[in-house]
Amino acid sequence: MTVNTTSLCFRNKVILAPMVRVGTLPMRLLALDYGADIVYCEELIDLKMLKCKRVVNEVLGTVDFVAPNERVVFRTCEREKDFVVFQMGTADAERALTVARLVENDVAGIDVNMGCPKEYSTKGGMGAALLSEPDKIESILTTLVRGICKPVTCKIRILPSTEETISLVKKIEKTGVAAIAVHGRKKEERPQHPVHCDVIKAISEAVSVPVIANGGSHDFIKDYSDLAAFRQATAASSVMVARAAMWNPSIFRKEGSRPLDDIIQEYIKYAVQYENHYTNTKYCLCQMLREQIENAQGKKLHAAQSLQDICEVFEMSSFYKETSALLEARRVSLETKDQDDDDQMEDADVIKMAVKFDKREYPPQITPKMCLLEWCRKEKHLQPMYETIERPLDRLFRSVVTVANQKYRSTFWEKSKKLAEQAAAIACLRTLGLPEGKWSDEAGHLENKRKRPDPGPLHNGEHRDELVAEAVCKKPHFIPEASDASVS
C-alpha cells in the first residue's frame, strides 16, 4: 500500500465543504480569509473536465480549465493553491486518474464524491451510487493514490447500519487515502433529518485515518464555537461545514461572525476581481440573504443581469468601474506585449495589414474568402491555405493565408476562427490590389455566379467542387502558437 505524504494535513482542521454552485473561487477565497484551513471546490464531473484545457490567465492571475465552448469549468489561483481540494464526480478509475493528473499541479489534493444523493450524480454511477459498489470504490481510490503525488480523500454518506458503514470505511482506509469525510446522514435523508453523530463517532474510533465530520449545520453549527462542539460529539479529527458557511462564510472566524453587509461586499469584490459569472455570483448572494431576499434589495438582486448590475444593487459601482478599468488596462498591456513579441518572432515574409472583416460591408453570400478562392482558380494557383491559432490569454484568433507561396495576415485578433480567416483574405486581396467583394466593389460577376439558376440534381459529381469550395479551402485543424507556454 502506498500512502501519499504532503504538507496538507487533515487533523484539527475546519474545512469548507464541497457545494454545487457555491464552492467557486470567490467563496473559497472568502472562507480562507475568515479562517478556513482547507477549502473544497464544488463537484466537477470527470467527463466534463476531460474536455477542458488548462489556460494560464495572466489578466486575472488565475489558472483556468476551459471547456470547448469557452466556459471556465474550474478557476483557481496562487492564493489557494496549498489549501484547495479538487472534488470530482466519477465512476471510472482511469478517467479519475486522467482528471487528477490534469489538475494536480494546481491544487493541494483530490477528492472523490461518494455521497451526493442527487440524480445528476447518481444516474452516472457517481456520488452515493458508489456506496453500493465497494470494489469500484477500492479501484478508483487505489488508482488515484498510486497515480498522483497529492493526497487523495473521499466523501461518503453513512449506510443503513453502523456495521456496514464501518466495514466500508475500513476498506477505504486500506487504499491509502489521506482522510475520509463522512456526512452523517443516509443517502435518502435530507438536511431536516437529524445528523447521526453516534455513527460518525463509531467510525472515528474504528479507523486510524483522519475522519472529517460533516452534516452539523442544521443541529449544531451556528457560530465558530459550535465547530468544536460538533467535533467533540463525533470524535472526528476535523469538521467540514457546508450550509452554515454558505449562509455565513465568516463562521470560520475565531473572533466571531462579521455583519452580513460586510461579508457580501467582500464576496462581491472577489467576484469582480476574478470575473466570476454573474449568475453564479447572484446565486451565492441569494443564499447569504436568505429571508431578506424578498425585501427591496433582494428583488433588485433577482433582476440583476450582470456583475455591474449586482454592484449597483449593493452600492459598489465605483469599485466595479475601477476594477474593470484595471483589468482592461492589464489586458491591453499584455496584448500589446504579445503583439510586439509576435512581430519580432514571425517570419519576415509574412505580409501584415491592419484590417478587419465587417459583414455589413458585403452583399449577402459574398465574402473575401470567396473572392480570393475565385481569383486563385482563375489564375490557376493552388487554393488558399489558412492556418489559424488561438491565443490562450483571451481566446481570440488570428489566421495566416498562403497564396502563391506568399503569406498574409491581419495584425488584429478576432473573436472567431471564421472572422480571422476573412481578415487574412482581406489582407491578401488588398495587397494584390484585387476586389474583395464589398458593396462598393464591382462584384456583380461573383454575385451573379452565386445566384444563377439551380442546374438540377448533381450527376457523377458535376459541379461538386463549386458547392464544397468553402469546405476545402482551409486546413481542418488549429495549430499551437509557438510562443505560448500557457497551455498544457
Active site residue ranges: 116
- Give the whole-angstrom CA distance, residue 152 versus residue 19: 18
Cell digits of residue 150 = 497529492
- Give the whole-angstrom CA distance, residue 460 versus residue 448: 25
Phi/psi for 350 (5° steps) reads: -85, 120
Q: Partners of 414 in the beta sheet?
A: 397
Q: Partners of 112 in the beta sheet?
A: 88, 154
Q: Are strands 396-403 and 152-158 parallel, antiparallel or unpaired?
A: unpaired
Closest CA to 389 of 487, 476, 481, 485: 481
Torsion 116-118-122-126 (CA) sign: negative
DSSP-derived letter for residue 468 is: T
Closest CA to 282 of 295, 296, 293: 293
Burial-class residue 9 by CB neighbours within 10 Å (0-12, 13-18, 19+). middle
Residues 6 or more apart in contact with residue 341 via CB below 8 angstroms = 483
Write the DSSP string, 227-268.
HHHHHHHHT-SEEEESHHHHH-GGGG-TT-PPPHHHHHHHHH
